[in-house]
């Protein structure tokens, strides 16, 4: 059996209907890394432990801003799309995971992981590096330096990579049990990982949109392999194979949600 990887989704309202939204790229990245993607809707925090009992690894996806009062601050004018129910749910997933469930945090996911660990965020970046380039999400827009000897450097097999960038916030004070392991040219923290053996890797960029570039696909292979190592009998993924898109629905422009 392949590792089951839970992927968080984002509560959204479309045409006065409540839906859960998830970029297909996350699903394809996990499938390509040899895992079975399991989409996790936002549920009451009390359901977190039971949900995690059914998966072997977890992806915390991107999205709106983490509520600043979670790290003791008032919202800056630029803060947007706060969803306290999603914050509560994903925080509960992180806490229930402990050091047993491997976690890959992406953008907002990295920020929330840091906040849950007691860290803080920069609410709005204003530097000479343009960190918010939505129109280039599938392209490299700036370099990142990775710390020598870090888990992230081992995963990426490099200490310098190019990344995309679609965020306006970033990690400020690093939380307990985490350490910063990558930086943009302006000094912005671009990744943290668990210290003391915690199986957490969290990046500020969006690797699911860059799996056509080998270093980024390796993050998802790390997650599925880390999950398999903790559960004897699971198939250990060999590497990354882009999934066959012809087996999935083609989709359409959303004008109605059933």
Instruction: Judge contact between 97 and 90, C-beta under 8 A.
Output: no
Catalytic machinery residues:
107, 206, 208
Cα–Cα–Cα angle for 23, 5, 162, nearest 5°?
55
- Report helix, strand or coil for 147: coil
Element (H, E) at 85: helix 84-97
Phi, psi of 67 (to 5 degrees): -55, 120
Return the structure tokens found at 129: 């590096």
- Whose tokens are 């679609």? That residue is 166
- Strands annotated E in 197-254: 200-203
Cβ within 8 Å of residue 248, ≥6 positions away: 24
d(CA 152, CA 111): 17
**In terms of Cα–Cα distance, which of 112, 107, 102 is closest to 5?**
102
d(CA 218, CA 240): 7
Instruction: Judge contact between 224 and 237, C-beta under 8 A.
Output: yes
């Amino acid at each position: 059996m392949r590792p089951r990887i839970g992927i968080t989704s984002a509560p959204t309202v479309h045409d006065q209907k409540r839906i859960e939204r998830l970029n297909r790229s996350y699903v394809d990245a996990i499938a390509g890394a040899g895992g079975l993607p399991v989409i996790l809707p936002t549920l009451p925090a009390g359901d977190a432990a039971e949900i995690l009992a059914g998966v072997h690894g977890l992806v915390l996806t991107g999205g709106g801003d983490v509520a600043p009062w979670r790290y003791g601050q008032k919202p800056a004018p630029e803060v947007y799309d706060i969803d306290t129910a999603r914050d509560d749910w994903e925080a509960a997933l992180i806490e229930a995971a402990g050091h047993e469930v491997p976690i890959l945090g992406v953008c907002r996911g990295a920020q929330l992981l840091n906040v849950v660990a007691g860290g803080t965020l920069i609410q709005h970046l204003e530097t000479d590096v343009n960190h918010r380039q939505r129109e280039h999400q599938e392209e490299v827009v700036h370099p990142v330096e990775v710390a020598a000897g870090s888990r992230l450097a081992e995963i990426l097999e490099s200490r310098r990579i190019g990344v995309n960038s679609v965020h306006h916030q970033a990690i400020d004070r690093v939380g307990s049990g985490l350490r910063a392991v990558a930086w943009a040219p302006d000094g912005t923290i671009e990744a943290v990982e668990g210290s003391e053996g915690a199986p957490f890797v969290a990046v500020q960029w969006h690797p699911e949109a860059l799996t056509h570039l080998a270093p980024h696909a390796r993050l998802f292979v790390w997650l599925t392999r880390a999950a398999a190592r903790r559960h004897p009998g699971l198939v250990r993924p060999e590497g990354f194979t882009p999934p066959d898109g012809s087996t999935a629905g083609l989709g359409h422009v959303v004008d109605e949600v059933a």
